[in-house]
Amino acid sequence: MKIEAAANLPELKAIIQKSKRFDLIFSILGFLALLLAVMTFVVLFAQMAITGWERISPEFFTNFPSRRAGSAGILSALVGSILVMLVTAFAAIPLGVGAGIYLEEYAPKNLLTDIIEINVTNLAGVPSIVYGLLALGVFVYGFGLGQSILTAGLTLALLILPIIIVATRESIRAIPQHIREAAYGMGATKWQVVKDHIVPYSLSGILTGIIIGLSRAIGETAPIITIGALTFIAFLPPSPVGAEFPWINFEWLSSGFTVMPIQMFNWTSRPDEAFQVNAAAAGFILVLLTLSMNALAIFLRYRLRKNISW
Amino acid sequence: MSSTPNVSARFAKNRFRNTKELIIEIILFFAAFVSVATTVGIIWVLVSESIHFFEHVSFFDFVTDTLWTPLFEDAHYGIMPLLAGTLTTSLVALSVAIPLGTIIAIYLSEFANHKVREVVKPFLELLGGVPTIVYGYFALVVITPLLQIVFPELPGFSMLSAGLVMGVAIIPYISSLAEDAMRAVPMSMREGSYAAGATRLQTALRVVFPAALSGILSAYILGISRAVGETMIVAVAAGMQPNLTMNPMEPAQTISAYIVQVALGDLPHGSIGYQSIFAAGLALMLLTLVFNILGHLLRKRFREVY
């Protein structure tokens, strides 16, 4: 028996060698695939930075779009993006966090809850342009809100709602049951448990979800084009803060607007080479914006994972 | 005996407390219900506008006509060219994203060491956060000229270029979900396989991959949904001409790109052109629905429980 095994040994070694070679080949393949994905991004970012660099100057941020590529800027798009995000945040944060809290802490086990849960999952897979059609039919013409900042903000709020709901639920689910039981044992009501324990403990997870949601919203183009946002805007919406009482006005909500990705789309789709430089510059700033938001979210999550011990 | 009035005062406070609790619960319920209202709104808008559309256009023409020219004098309303564009770009994208996404997922879950994974995973997440309009610009300005070196006859707009870039854009979605699915496979199964003398690759392909197949299929389904609904990359880089062809070397328009094209123009509310984008949107929704149902059936077929 022993002799037989010894006789097979070279053969066995060859088989092992061959299998290990496949291991190595796949490792290299996997690494190359990863490299391709990463390199695409690096090339994309570098290309925009190099091409757009000559256009990035203080004037680029303070000029309105123009017929001449050299003096065109992103002022109206940047202000538009900020104002739309303001509306989106105001609508999506309370709704998303509220829905997440309801589904985790309040919802009874019944058909309606099941429907809501399945629905949230399915909404995450709906193409973003369909949200644009919803907004066009309901917000623009149904409610008569027009092609305004309010419409755009609400549309994007609906779009990122599933992201915030899922993030809220996941971070609430990570809170151990005994925290709730201790609070109930002290005679706290459900709402007291939620506002004094559940929300504070899950806050960084919720915040991560909100930032990722908003960074997705700031780059969304299709739904905003669908509601009929203008691509050439050479004015600013009325200021939200005024000099006279009551200091705050809401006229800006119904103003026409453009946003960063639409401005970039507009420049990209022009045949004139000079505008491609503008597109690169706008894209560079847009990517920088979304990247820093995403990086912040990832940082928050990693920090959170390290610091938590129940 | 001064405690009696105290107790009733506390009961009164409780009643107030209970009302407050109830009101809060109702408010939170409505927040959760917004998502259902959104779905109902989407279906209602798409169906009701499409009904108006089909009052003018016969459903038979919609599915059999080979021309899509709603904005021309001689209007034709055949969805087929747009459908062909959508399917071709998606096919190109998925033939990039599914193999690469799967390989990356297997590599990260079974081969890469902890350090590599910790660095690469956030980076992949960042990739998924890049706005699609930026990818569209990249396809038009960088990838198309590169492809034209290899294929000199490639036009300035092509489904190939848009599809390839879209594929790269979808990789993070597929790789991250597929990796999660494979990491959820219990360690004991891998250990059993290693103990039987299998190598890493054999374990990954014959034990972990089949065990995680149901989750991996959901990753593919999400990828397909993204590809079918993707708008800005194809709107920028694939051209705006409806073209009944499955040849990726040609320019063509997808369903989503058509919606963008109409929205960029100034169509009056209630006109047939306005209604046509809702009919196109309905077709898009049905297409994603078909893939989702197929995926659901496949997942049920391959689901394994430990």
**Segment B46-98, tens digit of pLDDT:** 999 999 999 888 888 888 888 888 777 778 888 899 999 999 999 999 999 99
Q: Please name the amino acid found at residue A66.
A: S
Closest residue in B to A102 (Cα–Cα): B28
B66 in any annotated domain: no
| Same domain membership, residue A82 and residue A43 | no
Are A37 and B104 a contacting pair at CB < 8 A?
yes
- Alpha-carbon dihedral of residues A31, A35, A36, A40, nearest 10 degrees? 160
Asked if residue A177 and residue A254 are part of one domain, the reply reads yes
Share of chain B above pLDDT 90, in %: 52
Q: Which residues of A touch B111 (CB under 8 A)?
A: 26-27, 30
Task: Give yes or no: residues A106 and A34 share one domain.
Answer: no
Partner residue facing B42 (CB), from A41, A102, A134 = A134
CB contact under 8 A, B107 and A126: no
Q: Are A150 and A45 members of one domain?
A: no
Counting the structural domains of chain A, the total is: 2
B240 CB near a chain A CB, below 8 Å?
no
Verify that B41 and B90 share a domain, yes or no: no
> Which pLDDT score is estimated for A8?
78
pLDDT above 70 as % of chain A: 90
The domain that holds B128 is classified in CATH as 1.10.3720.10
Please tell me whether residues A150 and A297 are part of one structural domain: yes
Q: How confident is the model at residue B26 (pLDDT cuts 50, 70, 90)?
A: very high
Contacts of B168 in chain A (CB under 8 A): 36-37, 40
Q: Which residues lie below 8 Å from residue A279, measured CB to CB, with a gap of 6+?
A: A52, A264, A267, A268, B137, B141
For CA atoms B38, A127, B293, B276, give the dihedral sign. positive
pLDDT-derived band at B164, boundaries 50, 70, 90: very high
ipTM score for this prediction:
0.89
Query: Looking at the structure, do residues B88 and B28 belong to the same domain, yes or no?
Result: no
- Whether residue A30 and residue B104 make contact (CB cut-off 8 A), yes or no, is yes
B10 contact A CB<8A: no
Q: Do the chains contact at A125 and B288, CB–CB below 8 Å?
A: yes
pLDDT for residue A307:
61
CA dihedral sign of residues B206, B208, B209, B211:
positive
Residue of A nearest to B113 (CA): A27
Residue B288 lies in a domain: yes
C-alpha A233/C-alpha A84 separation (Å) is 15
CA–CA gap between residue B69 and residue B46 (Å, rounded): 20
Residues of B in contact with A152 (CB under 8 A): none
Q: Which domain holds residue B21?
A: 3-56
Q: Give the DSSP per-residue string, B13-33.
A: HHHHHHHHHHHHHHHHHHHHH
Phi-psi region of A146 (alpha: psi -120 to 50; beta: other; left: phi over 0): left
- CA distances to A137, A266, B94, B96 from B99, in Å: 39, 34, 8, 6
B158 in a structural domain: yes
Q: Indicate whether B103 and B242 sit together in one domain.
A: yes
Same domain, A301 and A230: yes
A16 in the same domain as A141: no
Instruction: Choose the closest CB to B100 out of A33, A165, A302.
Output: A33
Chain B residue with the nearest C-alpha to that of A264: B133
Of A51-55, A244-248, B131-135, give the range with the top mean pLDDT.
B131-135
Structural domain including A39 reads 2-53
Residue A202 CA to residue B99 CA, distance in Å, equals: 37
Please state, in angstroms and rounded to a whole number, the distance separating the CA atoms of residues B113 and B109: 9
CA angle in degrees (0–180, nearest 5) for A137-A142-A146: 85
Residues A37 and A179 grouped into a single domain: no
| Number of cross-chain residue pairs from A and B with Cβ atoms under 8 Å apart | 253
Q: Find the CATH number of the domain harbouring A176.
A: 1.10.3720.10
**In this complex, is the C-beta atom of A19 within 8 Å of any C-beta atom belonging to chain B?**
yes
Residue B63 lies in a domain: no
pLDDT value for B170? 93
Report the C-alpha gap between B306 and B208 in whole angstroms: 13
Distance set, CA B198 to CA A29, A204, A299, B209, B304 (Å): 20, 42, 38, 14, 22
Tell whether B95 lies on the interface with A, counting CB pairs under 8 A: no
Q: Are residues B178 and B102 in the same domain?
A: yes
Does one domain contain both A273 and A230? yes
pLDDT of A1 over the 50 cut: no
State the nearest Cα–Cα gap between B215 and chain A, in angstroms: 15
**B158 and B16 belong to one structural domain:** no
Give the separation between CA B42 and CA B84, rounded to whole angstroms. 24
Of chain A, the end-to-end C-alpha distance in Å amounts to 57
| Per-residue CA distances from A266 to A133, A233, B211 (Å) | 20, 11, 47
| Integer-rounded Cα radius of gyration of chain B | 26
pLDDT tens readout for residues A12-37: 888 888 888 888 999 999 999 999 88
Helices (H), B107-231: 114-128, 132-138, 144-150, 159-183, 187-195, 200-203, 209-211, 213-229
**C-alpha–C-alpha distance, residues B267 and B275, integer Å:** 10
- Per the structure, how many domains does chain B have? 2
Measured CA to CA in angstroms, residue B200 lies from A4, A187, A190, B106 at distances of 28, 54, 50, 10
Residues A47 and A62 occupy one common structural domain: no
| Last-in-domain residue among A29, A53, A77 | A53
Pair A188, A153 in one domain: yes
